[in-house]
Structure 1
Amino acid sequence: MDRPYIICHMLTSLDGKIIGDFLNEDRTAYFIQAYEEIDERYECKAWMCGRITMEEHFTQGNTLELKSEDILAIPRMDYVAQKTAKSYAVAVDPSGKLGWTTNSISKVNDDQTGDHIIEVLTEQVPDAYLNHLRQLGISYIFGGKDKLDFNLVVKKLKSVFSIDELLLEGGGFVNGSLLSQGLIDELSLILVPIADGASKSVTLFETGAYLQNSQPVNFFLKSIEKLDDDGLWIRYLTKKSN
């Protein structure tokens, strides 16, 4: 396969929400811990999140004040700061908005090395932002001129960074984009036994106007495990095993 094996690993309420008040319930803390432990058990070399998820959990909304004066035009070519990192955090950030201050992050453990950041960009990103990434030593790849082609993105992750397995961890629109392009091989779902009920909360797979040909996708049960406090860990495949 010319791309990584992609596992969408998510935690949802009973009504399919990935954000909402249910996450603040005392009962949910156990399931978040279970989610993180299962994440580690997969031992994937890389994980991917969208801009909003990265901003909420890792850049904490930090904004950059970048000066565009005196910055030469930077060719829209992939930039590899670390090709042999032990692990990678892939940030889907088409317009270049994430306010990184370091070139690595750690999702669970406060280890010293962390996961080397790879930014996924379109060619519309400002030169000043590319310069900022280069100064920090953050790798970046281009996934399209003005919108992302995730087929191209994941192929680059394998060919450039030797990523064979990738955990996809939201948000809903990134999940929906990869699903619509047939790029999700497995779904790992932690089901929290709480209904959120909020009508505007983002769900597991979201679609937008840019996904013109979105079609239903069939899943096939791989395994199911009962967790403590009546939760479930459900694993599905998108293709039947022979």
Structure 2
Amino acid sequence: MIEGVRLVEEALAAGLPFQGALVAPDLARTARGVALVAELERHAIPVEEIGVRTFAQLADTEAPQGIIAVIEPRRWDAAEFAPRPGAVALVIDGVQDPGNVGTLIRTAHALGAAGTVVLRGTADPTSPKALRAAMGATFRHPVVLLDDAGFIAWARKHAVTLWAAAADGTPLHRALGKGAGKGDAGSVDDGPIAVIVGNEGAGIRPQLNAVAAQRVAIPLAQGAESLNVAVAAGILLYEVTRGR
């Protein structure tokens, strides 16, 4: 289920299948709302108007915008996600806040990541809160759900180098400088890299740290303890992508 004008517009633009939509009378008070209903009807999507009180009971947000839709989000599998040489991917390990998960997917999409792998213990990326936080990125950006064994097998199959974010890791600028100019086929400079970010409190699980080729850190100002996981992922993805 998705809610809000922007998210429904994004789902339509992405060509996702709709089961139907519920609208409140307030939606017709804006030109954008009227246009959205017309577009839904043009796609032969059932639209039903319900009362304000009923809509408020169904809505998941505190200030609903007058439209809720039921969609069928795309399901990606590992076979469809084969990162090319030079690509960068994001891996989310055990991030439990759905808002953070959605923001991570939005960030990965905006920074040109090839896709995002979601591991066990992570909030559902298709939950209403995660979809709202992703601002439509989930509808276009490959998001693959894998268990640990499937993830490790995927990384080995596609020769993906794993970098784990860690407060005590190698400073990012030093990690990016390693191997510069080698030009070896299949080296970290040429092959795909997957950046792993972990749980807001506990970080990345030990079994994933064990298979990572490198643990990298973002140097922080003295006295600063940590960054929000989505902010950290944005910095890491930007710098790794730029350094390719």
TM-score bucket (shorter structure): 0.3 to 0.5
Which protein has greater RCO, CA pairs closer than 8 Å, 6+ apart?
A: 1
Richer in helix (by share): 2
TM-score scaled by length of structure 2: 0.33
TM-score scaled by structure 1?
0.33
Q: Which has the larger radius of gyration?
A: 2
